[in-house]
């Protein structure tokens, strides 16, 4: 089986809160999730994070995109790698919408030190890495240092 490569976008507003969507995808238990998804051919992690954020939350007012780490799921028979990308919000008043109501029923700005539960597993791993915490059980996180 080919590896699955994706991205999770950590979009931070002016108050330091991160954007999380309540994921209600059919066949899955509801979880809180970062905007994100699979990489398209020829797409960089940053481009994928910006595209997925727009597709899932309707927010297009983003500037700088910085890859901060990679999460690797260890407890699945298939290889799942997810890159974490921090996005800078360029419009302080940007409001998420619901372009994919079959996947997300609402978006919230959450304090990163008081996150809702349960988190989608890849989002949990990426946020742990972003916050400098140990990876959840079944995951490995790897920080990417910027020059």
CATH (domain of 89): 3.90.79.10
Decide: 80 and 38 in contact? Cβ < 8 Å.
no
- Binning pLDDT at 50, 70 and 90, where does residue 1 land? confident
HSE-CB for 54 with a 13 A CA cutoff: 10
How many domains does the chain divide into?
A: 1
- Is the pLDDT assigned to residue 146 strictly greater than 80? no
HSE-CB for 140 with a 13 A CA cutoff: 8
Region 51-55 average pLDDT: 98
pTM of the model: 0.96
Contacts of 127 (CB under 8 A, 6+ apart): 10, 18, 34, 112, 115, 119
pLDDT at 99: 98
Express each pLDDT in 88-140 by its tens digit: 999 988 999 999 999 999 999 999 999 999 999 999 999 999 999 999 999 99
pLDDT at 145: 82
Domain enclosing residue 76, as ranges: 4-143
DSSP helix/strand/coil, 41: coil
């Amino acid at each position: 089986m080919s590896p699955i490569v994706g991205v999770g976008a950590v979009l931070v507003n002016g108050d330091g809160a991160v954007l999380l969507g309540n994921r209600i995808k059919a066949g899955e238990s509801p979880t809180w999730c970062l905007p994100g998804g699979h990489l398209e051919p020829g797409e960089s992690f940053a481009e994928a994070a910006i595209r997925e954020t727009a597709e899932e939350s309707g927010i297009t007012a983003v500037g700088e995109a910085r890859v901060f780490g990679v999460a690797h799921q260890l407890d699945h028979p298939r290889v799942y790698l997810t890159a974490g990308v921090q996005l800078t919000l360029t419009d302080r008043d940007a409001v998420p919408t619901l372009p994919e109501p079959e996947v997300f029923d609402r978006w919230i700005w959450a304090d990163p030190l008081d996150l809702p539960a349960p988190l989608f597993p890849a989002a949990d791993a990426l946020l742990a890495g972003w916050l400098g915490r140990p990876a959840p059980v079944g995951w490995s996180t790897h920080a990417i240092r910027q020059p």
